[in-house]
Structures are given as C-alpha cells and as structure tokens.
C-alpha cells in the first residue's frame, strides 16, 4: 500500500487535480476490498469493475492494473459507459463514474443477485440505491455509505469504514 | 503483658520478646521491600504490555483512517486514549515519520514527541516511550507507526499507595507480633520463670518438699530434674537433721527440745479446746551410783531398757522423752483429770519394780515421779516442766519410788531452796563456814582422847545454821566438795595450832562426805595438806557415814586401805541409821564405830535398846573396833555405857560442841584441873 501513502498529500487545485483525485479514488477502491466481506469464502481473485471510463480514469487505473495484493490477485476491468451492463455480473466492486450515473438503476437491477459493492461519485448515488459514494470535502476525498443496501446485498462493511464515512444510511441505527 | 518489676522476669521475658520482635521487623521490612520492588517491576512490565495492547488496538482502529487518509478520525481515535491515565501523548506516523495524527493529555502541553527510532520501548525514570508498527488487518502490510508516551506517575502513585498500605500492614503485623511474642515467649520462659518462682518460694518458706513440674523442653527438663534431685537431697538431709535434732540417739526417745516443742503445741491446742494435759517428770533414784559402780556402758544400757519399758505403757498420742541424763518426761495429752496421770504414774512404778538384767547384774532402779497438770500448774511449757521437776524432787526427798503432784507449796520450798543454795555459795567465799569442836572422853581413863570437828554455817555472822539444814543441799548441788575442803583444812589447822600451844596432842575426827571420799583429788589434797602441816597421820580420823558406803566399789575400798596405811584412822559414823549392814564392818578397814545418838537417847526408855547398844559394842570389840557413843547427855547413859564396856563417849553430858576460842578455854581449864588433881593425888 505504498501507493496509497504516496497519494496522501493535499489535493491541490492544479492541472493534475482531476488526475490526482481519480488516483485517490482508485486507491480507495482497493482499500474497500479490505473492509468489505463478501459472502464467498476467500476469493483468490478480485475483480474491480469501473463503468463509464474515460481517458483520465483509464490512465489512472492502468497504472495500478497490474498491482495485486499478496493474497489476492486483483483485476481492474474497465468499461466504457455504453458497454453492455451484463458484463458486470462477476465484479466484487463496481465503480460507476459520474458520466455513467444515469445507468445506475439499470446496473443495480442487473447485479441485484450478485454480491457486488456499488461505488459511485454523484450526489444522489446512495439515495438511489448505491452503496458507497465518494464526496469531496475540503480538498479531501471522503465517502458516504448506504449500509442498508449493502446489508441487503449480503455484504458486511467493516465498522472501521463505517466510522470514517461522512454519512451512513442505516435504518437500524435510526 | 505483665512487666513485673522483678529483674529476672523483666530480663528473660523482654529479651525473648525483643528477639522475636526484631526478627519479625527485619523479616517484614525485607519482605515488604522485595514485594514493593518486584511489584514495581511487574507493574512496569504490565504497563508495557498494556501499552503494547493499547497501541495495537488503537492502530487497528486507526487502520481505516490511515488508509482513507482521514487524520481527523485518527485524531478522534487517539483522543479516546484520554481515558487511560498513563498516556501523556500519542501520535500516528505514516510514510516514514510523517505525523498523521496526535493526541496530548491536558496536563502535557506543549506535547513532546520523542519516539524511539525503531519499534520497541524506552523506559525513562518517569516515562515510557513506545513505538509500534501498524499493520493492515490481515497483517501483511505496514501502513504506519503508532507512538505512545506513558507517564509512570500513576504507577508511582499506586506504588506509594501500596507502600503506605504495606506500611500499615507491617505496623499491624508488628503490633500483632508484639502481642503474640509475649504469649509465645511464655512457652519458653514459663518453665524458667516457674523454676525461678519455685526457687523463691523454697528460699522464703524453706519448704524443700516442693517439686517443679517437668515440661517438654529437653534442656529445661534436665534442669528441672537436677533441681528436683537437689531438693530431694536437701529434704532428706533436713529430715535426717530433724531426726538428729529431735531424738535422743541413745534411747531413740524424743529429746528435750522435741518434748518442749510438743508440750508447747499441746498448750496452744489446749488453750483453744480447753484440754487438760499432764506432764510426768521422772528421775531414776541412785542412777549415778549405778553409773559410777557398774560403769557408763551399763548405765547407758539401763537407760535404753528403761526407755523401752516406758514406751510400752504409753498411748500413741502421748510423748516420752529423755529429758537429759537419767531424767525422763512424759506428756499425756487431752486427759480428763488427775486420775489418768495417777494411773500412768502407778503403771510406771509397777513396771520399774522388775529388776533390769544388765550383763550379769540384776539391777533394781526406782523412779521418782513429779506430776503437773495443765492448766492448773502452769501456763507455759517452761513453768510446767520446772514445776514437775520440783514435784519430782519432793518425791525423791520423800525416799523415791513414788510420785507427787505438784503443789504451790512445793514451789515456795523450791524457791527457798534456791535462795539457800545461793547464800551457801556466798558463804563459802565469805568464810562463813566455821567449825565447832566436841571433845571425846575415854571412859576408862577419863581423859580426852579425841575431838570431833563439826561444821556450822555462821550465816551473815548472825546465827549458826546446823549442818542438817544445809549439808543435804550442799550434797545435792555439789557444794559439799568445797565445804568439805574447808572443813578438813580448818580442822587440821586448828589441830596444828593446839599442838603448838601445847593445849592438845590427841587426834581430831573430821567428817567426810561420800562425794568427797570418792573424789581422788580430795583424798590426795588431804594427804598433801597433812604432809605440809607435818601432822602425824595417827592423829587424823576420818568419819564416814553408813550411807556413803552404799553402792561401794573396789576403788572405795582401796582408797580406805591407802588412808589406813598412812596411819589415818577410819570411823563409821551414825551407825544404826542406814542399812547397818554388818558385812560393811568386815569389808572395810574401820578402826572405830560410832553408835548413832538415837540409840543412846532411847536407851533409858527401853531395855531392848540397851540390848542393841550392848550387842553393837560387843560385836565391835570382837571385830577389833573401838566404840564411840554419840549424844551422851546424862549420867545414867554414861554409867550404862561404862557398864557395857563402851570405850569413848561424846555428848552434852561431858561437853557440848564449842567454837575454837571456847574449846581452847575448855582445854586450858581442863589442863589446870588435871594439874590440881595430879597435885592432890600426889
């Protein structure tokens, strides 16, 4: 996770700003693999699927594509926003980029029988049935979580992550 | 806890207690110190463990915050450490000592971060610094480092509390130990104290029958045994000494001291219960003669046999004692009246009647018994014994072999006797013993052939006391010896004087007591005195009474022969008053026989008395003895005696006893008359 550490610095408003932000999000996606339990036991191979990819994302994820954890082989699967959503059936994490947000509901519908953590980056993502949503607060990338949806999908999100989320939708808590 | 002022008790008890307390103190302090130090060390290790765990948990908690670059949340997580009193500051570093999050306790401002260079801990005097790596949940990737700085102050405060509590426990233990030590030391000191107490009691009460309880301590047991052994020996010795002190070794009877003690106790009991007691004082008649004639060993044997007989007739409660010499005393306790004492006295007379077998001799010895009753005859033991003694004397004077109860009159007589004895002693020194002289007339020649020296006591130069009034006392008290010496010295001096003045050339008769006659010293002194005065022994006549010959022995006879060889004449005085044993006349070398005046006096009244006198005279002449008739007072008596062939007369008829001066006048006058008669005849 040296990579992550290298990303930890103020995300300045610079030319590289968007690129850096995407890199951080990419790193966070990896991190979610640590804090979410999927019902299958110890999958030796994890798929992170990015839907609605553009050039920035492609370069950011490409640089990490080959990275894998020692115990887990991680594959980054990138899909353009017009790609067939049925390809998303075998993903542990599905990241729906801002540009593909309009297809969220279709995707949720598509994967409802699969235990996939859905991550987005648009304002109403979790209220529309998404599980995790990146938000930018004071130059920092934070996230919000709809725990209800995750639980319904059979995913266990670590309390450590819930703890640092900006917002958690959790009907049990309310 | 009883601190006796007694030195010994104080010493042994408190020394033991001191030892115990010292041991307790040292042990407790050592244990408390070791305990405290080990506790401190343990607490430090525990704290490190605690910090390690804390760092691990906090690091784990901070995992997501680190991975998602949320330092605010990391700060929050660290700030939760505020609940731990030890933590001063805490920090999370990422990416090689970049401070990611930090926490400081309130009292530690500004914060000082001094993390160790590598993972591990550093212990300072008052702080612990701990640096620990933070790994991902699966433990594979290091994502940062957590630094904890913990203060040791709470630990030291806790330690102080512990030391304080330990101190209280130590003090409390000491207090308990102090109390216990005084109880526990007793188990050791008690037997020693008991020993010491027993010693004290034995010393004070002189009671050697006390024994000390043995106990389980080996050394003290040995000590107790030794002590008891010594006590036993002392007790036995005491009993032996008591035996020696209380009993007469010869007869085995109680001795004088023991008897007096018993009497004393009986009096005390008698006072309380108003009991009557009787004391019999017994003296053996003529014991001295037996002792002298048969020897002391026979005398001792007699005393032993007498004691055995007494012992036979005495009740268990009564006490027989050998009071001294041939004196015995009997204490009859708690009797009803005098008749009980009388019974015992009669019984004693009865059992003494039987002769004693001593070697080949059969000896009869009679007792003289004096009896006193308590409380009538005396209140004290001394008074009772003294009065019993007086009654015994009365009995003896009454002829012995009888008993007398004490009367007040006896006491007066006894006092009178004592007084008489005292003045008699003085008389010897004041030269109050003087001699009168009575001439003896030869009936055939009508000449003075002898003179008898008669003793008189010129008491206070006022009145003359006749010999019968003081000689018996002198005989009893032994004063007869010095008086006897005075008599023969004076008599011989007078004879010498008369010879020198040419007034008298015949012999002088001197009375000698039995005691004097038995005393070799007296006899030798007499012979020496005769020699010194150059007097012819033929002119000395010694008169001995019949009584003096009773209990004679060989020695007495040889003394008489010695005197006779020297030429001294021996006469038997007062013949007919005593035993008048004719065998005496044959046995002893007498020259002269003096018929007692009682026969002469009675002669006029009774012809039988005349016959007796005639017989005595005839017998004497047959034995070759010259006969002197004493107490001749009348012409008739003289004529009768002349008829009977009596050789010499002495008495008032012819001349009464005269003092030296008048005797000389008598001799002068007689000489003058003789010259005239001679002249006339011529």
Tell me: ipTM over 0.90: no
Work out the pLDDT band at A3, boundaries 50, 70, 90. very low
Residues B500 and B617 both lie in one domain: yes
**Would residue B193 count as lying in a domain?**
no
For residues A130-162, b (16+ Cβ closer than 10 Å) or e, as one string? bbbbbbeeeebbbbbbbbbbbeebebebeebbb
> For residue A34, what is the nearest residue in chain B, using CA coordinates?
B137
Report whether B648 contacts B620 (CB < 8 A).
no
Write down the pLDDT at residue B620: 92
Nearest to A8 among B61, B94, B137 (CB): B94
Domain encompassing residue B320: 247-406
**pTM, two decimal places:** 0.45
CATH of the domain at B20: 3.30.450.20
Residues B358 and B221 both lie in one domain: no
The whole-angstrom separation of Cα B657 and Cα B451 is 9
| Interchain contact B57–A (C-beta under 8 A) | no
**Would residue B52 count as lying in a domain?**
yes
Report whether B589 contacts B570 (CB < 8 A).
yes
Nearest to A8 among B69, B73, B136 (CB): B69
**Would residue B74 count as lying in a domain?**
yes
Residues B261 and B299 both lie in one domain: yes
Write down the pLDDT at residue B630: 93
Count CB atoms within 10 A of the CB of residue B548: 20
Residues B459 and B607 both lie in one domain: yes
Count CB atoms within 10 A of the CB of residue B319: 21
**Would residue A174 count as lying in a domain?**
no
Nearest 5°: the CA angle B498, B502, B505 is 70
- Measure in Å the smallest separation between the Cα of A116 and chain B Cα atoms: 20
CATH of the domain at B555: 3.20.20.450
Q: Which residue has the tokens 């994302």?
A: A57
Domain encompassing residue A113: 2-169
**Would residue B496 count as lying in a domain?**
yes
Write down the pLDDT at residue A134: 92
Judged against a pLDDT cut of 50, whether residue A52 lies above it is answered with: yes
Give the domain-ending residue among B374, B406, B438: B406
CATH of the domain at A64: 3.40.50.2300
**Would residue B199 count as lying in a domain?**
no
CB contact under 8 A, A141 and B67: no
Write down the pLDDT at residue B291: 83
**Would residue A165 count as lying in a domain?**
yes
Nearest to A5 among B61, B95, B138 (CB): B95
Report whether A69 contacts A113 (CB < 8 A).
no
**Would residue A40 count as lying in a domain?**
yes
Residues B439 and B378 both lie in one domain: no
For B237-278, what is each residue's pLDDT tens digit? Answer: 888 888 788 888 899 899 998 999 889 988 888 777 778 899
Nearest 5°: the CA angle B274, B277, B279 is 155
Q: Which residues of A touch B70 (CB under 8 A)?
A: 140, 142, 164
Q: Which residue has the tokens 């009773």?
A: B550
| Interchain contact A135–B (C-beta under 8 A) | no
| A-B contacts (CB, under 8 Å) | 54
Burial of B327 per CB tally in 10 Å (0-12, 13-18, 19+): middle
Report whether B314 contacts B348 (CB < 8 A).
no
Domain count, chain B: 4
- For residue A51, give both structure tokens: 């839907």
Nearest to A81 by CA among A107, A63, A62: A107
Residues B238 and B107 both lie in one domain: no
Q: E strands within B285-382? A: 319-324, 327-335, 356-358, 361-363, 367-374
- Residues of chain B under the 50 pLDDT cut: 1-9
Write down the pLDDT at residue B183: 77
Candidates B64, B80, B97, partner chain A, best to mutate (most A CBs within 10 A): B64
The whole-angstrom separation of Cα B36 and Cα B39 is 5
Write down the pLDDT at residue B321: 93
Nearest to A150 by CA among A111, A121, A122, A123: A111
């Amino acid at each position: 996770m040296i990579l992550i550490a290298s990303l930890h610095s103020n995300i300045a408003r610079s030319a590289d700003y968007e690129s850096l932000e995407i890199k951080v999000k990419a790193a966070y996606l990896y991190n979610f693999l640590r804090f979410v339990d999927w019902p299958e036991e110890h999958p030796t191979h994890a798929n992170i699927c990015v839907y609605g990819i553009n050039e920035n994302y492609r370069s950011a994820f490409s640089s990490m594509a080959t990275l894998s954890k020692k115990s887990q082989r991680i594959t980054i699967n990138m899909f353009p926003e017009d790609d067939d959503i049925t390809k998303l059936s075998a993903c542990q994490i599905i990241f729906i980029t801002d540009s593909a947000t309009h297809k969220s509901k279709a995707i949720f519908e598509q994967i409802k029988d699969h235990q996939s953590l859905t991550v987005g980056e648009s304002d109403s993502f979790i209220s529309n049935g998404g599980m995790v949503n990146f938000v930018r607060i004071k130059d920092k990338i934070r996230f919000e979580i709809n725990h209800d949806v995750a639980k319904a999908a059979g995913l266990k999100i670590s309390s450590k992550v819930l703890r640092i989320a900006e917002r958690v939708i959790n009907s049990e808590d309310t | 806890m009883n601190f006796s002022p007694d030195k010994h008790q104080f010493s042994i008890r408190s020394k033991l207690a001191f030892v115990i307390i010292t041991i307790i103190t040292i042990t407790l302090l050592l244990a408390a110190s070791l305990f405290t130090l080990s506790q401190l060390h343990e607490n430090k290790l525990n704290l490190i463990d605690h910090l390690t765990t804390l760092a691990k948990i906090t690091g784990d908690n901070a995992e997501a915050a680190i991975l998602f670059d949320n330092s605010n949340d990391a700060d929050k997580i660290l700030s939760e450490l505020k609940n731990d009193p030890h933590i001063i500051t805490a920090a999370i570093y990422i990416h090689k000592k970049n401070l990611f999050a930090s926490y400081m306790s309130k009292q530690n401002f500004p914060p000082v971060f001094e993390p160790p260079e590598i993972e591990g801990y550093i212990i300072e005097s008052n702080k612990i610094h701990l640096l620990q790596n933070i790994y991902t949940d699966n433990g594979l990737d290091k994502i940062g480092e957590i630094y904890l700085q913990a203060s040791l102050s709470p630990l030291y405060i806790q330690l102080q509390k512990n030391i304080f509590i330990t101190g209280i426990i130590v003090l409390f233990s000491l207090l308990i130990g102090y109390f216990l030590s005084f109880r526990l030391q007793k188990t050791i000191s008690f037997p020693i104290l008991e020993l010491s107490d027993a010693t004290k009691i034995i010393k004070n009460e002189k009671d050697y029958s006390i024994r000390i309880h043995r106990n389980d301590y080996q050394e003290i047991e040995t000590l107790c045994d030794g002590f008891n052994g010594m006590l036993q020996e002392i007790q036995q010795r005491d009993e032996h000494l008591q035996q020696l002190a209380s009993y007469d070794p010869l007869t085995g009877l109680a001795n004088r001291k023991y008897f007096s003690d018993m009497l004393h106790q009986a009096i005390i009991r008698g006072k309380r219960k108003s009991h009557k007691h009787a004391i019999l004082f017994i003296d053996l008649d003529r014991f001295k003669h037996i002792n002298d004639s048969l020897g002391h060993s026979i005398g001792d044997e007699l005393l032993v046999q007498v004691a055995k007989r007494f012992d036979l007739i005495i009740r268990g409660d009564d006490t027989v004692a050998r009071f001294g010499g041939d004196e015995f005393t009997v204490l009859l306790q708690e009797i009803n009246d005098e008749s009980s004492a009388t019974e015992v006295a009669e019984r004693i007379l009865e059992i003494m009647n039987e002769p004693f077998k001593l070697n080949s001799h059969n000896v009869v010895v009679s007792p003289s018994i004096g009896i006193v009753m308590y409380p009538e005859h005396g209140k004290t033991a001394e008074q009772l014994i003294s009065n019993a003694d007086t009654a015994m004397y009365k009995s003896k004077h009454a002829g012995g072999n009888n008993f007398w109860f004490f009367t007040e009159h006896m006491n007066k007589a006894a006092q009178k006797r004592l007084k008489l004895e005292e003045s008699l002693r003085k008389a010897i020194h004041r030269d109050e013993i003087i001699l009168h002289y009575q001439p003896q007339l030869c009936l055939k020649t009508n000449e003075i052939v002898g003179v008898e020296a008669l003793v008189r006591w010129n008491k206070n130069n006022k009145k003359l006391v006749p010999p019968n009034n003081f000689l018996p006392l002198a005989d009893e008290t032994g004063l007869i010896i010095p008086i006897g010496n005075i008599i023969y010295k004076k008599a011989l001096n007078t004879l010498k004087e008369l010879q020198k003045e040419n007034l008298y050339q015949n012999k002088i008769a001197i009375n000698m007591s039995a005691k004097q006659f038995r005393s070799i010293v007296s006899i030798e002194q007499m012979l020496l005195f005769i020699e010194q005065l150059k007097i012819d022994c033929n002119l000395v006549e010694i008169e001995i009474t019949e009584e003096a010959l009773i209990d004679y022995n060989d020695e007495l006879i040889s003394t008489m022969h010695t005197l006779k060889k020297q030429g001294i004449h021996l006469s038997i005085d007062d013949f007919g008053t005593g035993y008048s044993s004719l065998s005496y006349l044959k046995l002893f070398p007498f020259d002269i026989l003096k018929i007692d005046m009682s026969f002469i006096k009675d002669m006029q009244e009774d012809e039988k008395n005349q016959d007796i006198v005639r017989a005595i005279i005839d017998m004497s002449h047959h034995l070759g003895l010259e006969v002197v008739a004493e107490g001749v007072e009348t012409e008739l008596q003289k004529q009768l005696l002349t008829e009977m062939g009596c050789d010499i007369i002495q008495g008032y008829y012819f001349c009464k006893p005269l003092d030296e001066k008048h005797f000389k006048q008598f001799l002068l006058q007689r000489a003058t008359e003789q010259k005239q008669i001679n002249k006339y005849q011529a």
